[in-house]
Amino acid sequence: MHRSIRRILAASAASAVAAAGLVAGALPASAATALPTDLLRQLVVEPESNSPAYSRDYFEHWVDADRDGCDTRREVLEQESTVPVRQGSRSCSLTGQWVSYYDGATTANTADLEIDHAVALSEAWRSGARSWNADQRRAFANDLDSAPTLVAVSSASNQAKADKDFAEWRPPAGGAATCRFAVEQVQVKYRWNLSVDTAERDALAAFLPSCGSSPVEVPARAAVPAPGGGSGNQGGGGDQGGGAGTNLGDRLSAGRSMSGGQWLMAPNGRYGLAFQADGNLVAYGPDDRPLWHAGTHGNPGARFTLQQDGNAVVTASDGRVLWHSYTWGSGGSVLRAQSDGNVVVYRSSGGPAWCSGWDQGQRAGAGSRGVGLLGR
């Protein structure tokens, strides 16, 4: 999350400018790419924990997920060969050519290679995987759906890396290899809702700008709990409460609440919805520019809830309703922070019931029930 938004979460919002609101026909948006630094800002920063103690046995691998008779190791080798692979004489054996990007070593001998978890299993455990169930840990350990998670590298470089993070180890090949490693660390931690500690975050934040400003793939979120007490869901991160200062993913489902210091982040990391410590609900854009707010600042201890009836409501600590979206009667609704800059309450039927009135960071509509927008 952007650093200045973190400050906003601990203070009052900027002053409001009354304007328009509801936009009919808003559609959910998704973005395939984002800057690595934007993905990094979405990662929860917290100290690592090894309680309970890590065991490699907690992560079942390698498995044959597609039941073709060959395990994950063999699948990765097939994917990463720089030449077309040929089936060997033994079941699942193959011939090909591989380059270990960590150190530049090349080989045609699969015995020279190890399949590395870019974010090591024990690093993942300390960064949040200790709260996962066995199925989720097995899915992480055998993740073939997102290329950065698993990589074929030389045995020597894999042993040297061990369970170190970016603050502790970098590929000896340097240059483009280090940039790739830094980006993939962020992508894997984003995909699997894993936290970074302060040293790791600072090392990545200092290094990534040297790799240029090209966007990278935003991997799909895995269905795992978020660090800090939140929980994950398919396609968009957590939607349940966690501790103060928690990224709850990109959506809030009916019956769920946010307290001061929590936020939703759009999948592309450029837009979000923050519920501040002063009780104000604020949508923001790139450079932490406020786009809309509920005008409920000055109410510490307030709570924001998407009720079971579909109404989004900010209530004061004494139970007074401070703001609501006028969308009751829509059970099963979900509120989403979208990658086009809009915050939308969707009915269970999929149609929009309310939105903050922004699309691609532009003012998108007119006239509704006192919903406030903040200008540029």
Question: Contact at 8 Å (CB) between 300 and 277?
Answer: yes
Helix (H), strand (E) at residue 79: helix 72-80
Please indicate, yes or no, whether residues 190 and 279 belong to a single structural domain of this protein: no
- The predicted pLDDT at position 24 comes to 24
Instruction: Indicate whether 246 belongs to any domain.
Output: yes
Instruction: Indicate whether 127 belongs to any domain.
Output: yes
Query: What's 292's domain CATH number?
Result: 2.90.10.10
Instruction: Indicate whether 83 belongs to any domain.
Output: no
- The predicted pLDDT at position 13 comes to 26
The stretch 244-270 carries a mean pLDDT of 81
- The predicted pLDDT at position 277 comes to 81
Please indicate, yes or no, whether residues 169 and 233 belong to a single structural domain of this protein: no
Taking the complete model, does pTM exceed 0.75, yes or no? no
pLDDT over 90 at 242, yes or no: no
Q: Can you tell me the distance from the alpha carbon of 124 to that of 49, in angstroms, rounded to the nearest whole number? A: 10
Please indicate, yes or no, whether residues 120 and 269 belong to a single structural domain of this protein: no
Q: What are the two backbone dihedrals, phi and then psi, of residue 373, each rounded to the nearest 5 degrees?
A: -120, 150
Please indicate, yes or no, whether residues 59 and 208 belong to a single structural domain of this protein: yes
pLDDT over 90 at 265, yes or no: no
Burial of 15 (0-12, 13-18, 19+ CB in 10 A): exposed
Instruction: Indicate whether 71 belongs to any domain.
Output: no
Instruction: Indicate whether 283 belongs to any domain.
Output: yes
Please indicate, yes or no, whether residues 201 and 259 belong to a single structural domain of this protein: no
Of 217, 247, 264, the position where a domain reaches its end is: 217
The residues near 261 (Cβ < 8 Å, ≥ 6 apart) are 9, 10, 244, 245, 246, 275, 276, 277
Please indicate, yes or no, whether residues 22 and 109 belong to a single structural domain of this protein: no
Please indicate, yes or no, whether residues 356 and 245 belong to a single structural domain of this protein: yes
Please indicate, yes or no, whether residues 172 and 245 belong to a single structural domain of this protein: no
Instruction: Indicate whether 92 belongs to any domain.
Output: no
Q: Which amino acid is at 322?
A: L
Instruction: Indicate whether 134 belongs to any domain.
Output: yes
Q: Can you tell me the distance from the alpha carbon of 209 to that of 201, in angstroms, rounded to the nearest whole number? A: 13
Please indicate, yes or no, whether residues 201 and 243 belong to a single structural domain of this protein: no
- Choose the weakest-confidence range: 100-109, 195-204, 280-289, 293-302: 280-289
- Choose the weakest-confidence range: 107-121, 185-199, 285-299: 285-299
- The predicted pLDDT at position 90 comes to 67
pLDDT tens-digit map of 313-366? 999 888 889 999 999 887 778 999 998 889 999 998 888 999 998 664 444 332
Q: Can you tell me the distance from the alpha carbon of 178 to that of 30, in angstroms, rounded to the nearest whole number? A: 28
- The predicted pLDDT at position 88 comes to 66
Please indicate, yes or no, whether residues 179 and 252 belong to a single structural domain of this protein: no
Q: Can you tell me the distance from the alpha carbon of 100 to that of 81, in angstroms, rounded to the nearest whole number? A: 10
Question: Contact at 8 Å (CB) between 228 and 195?
Answer: yes
Please indicate, yes or no, whether residues 209 and 234 belong to a single structural domain of this protein: no
**Containing domain of residue 125, as a range?**
41-65+99-217
Of 185, 217, 249, the position where a domain reaches its end is: 217
The stretch 191-196 carries a mean pLDDT of 93
With a pLDDT cut of 90, the percent of the chain lying above it is 51
Two structure tokens written together for 10: 């601990």
Q: Can you tell me the distance from the alpha carbon of 93 to that of 90, in angstroms, rounded to the nearest whole number? A: 5
Please indicate, yes or no, whether residues 23 and 45 belong to a single structural domain of this protein: no
Burial of 53 (0-12, 13-18, 19+ CB in 10 A): exposed
List, as one string, the DSSP characters of 30-69. --SEE-HHHHHHTSPB------SPP-GGGS--S--TT-SS
Reported confidence tier of residue 111, pLDDT bands at 50, 70, 90:
very high
Query: How does strand 321-324 pair with strand 334-337?
Result: unpaired
How many structural domains are present in the chain?
2
Instruction: Indicate whether 324 belongs to any domain.
Output: yes
Question: Contact at 8 Å (CB) between 218 and 228?
Answer: no
Of 217, 251, 267, the position where a domain reaches its end is: 217
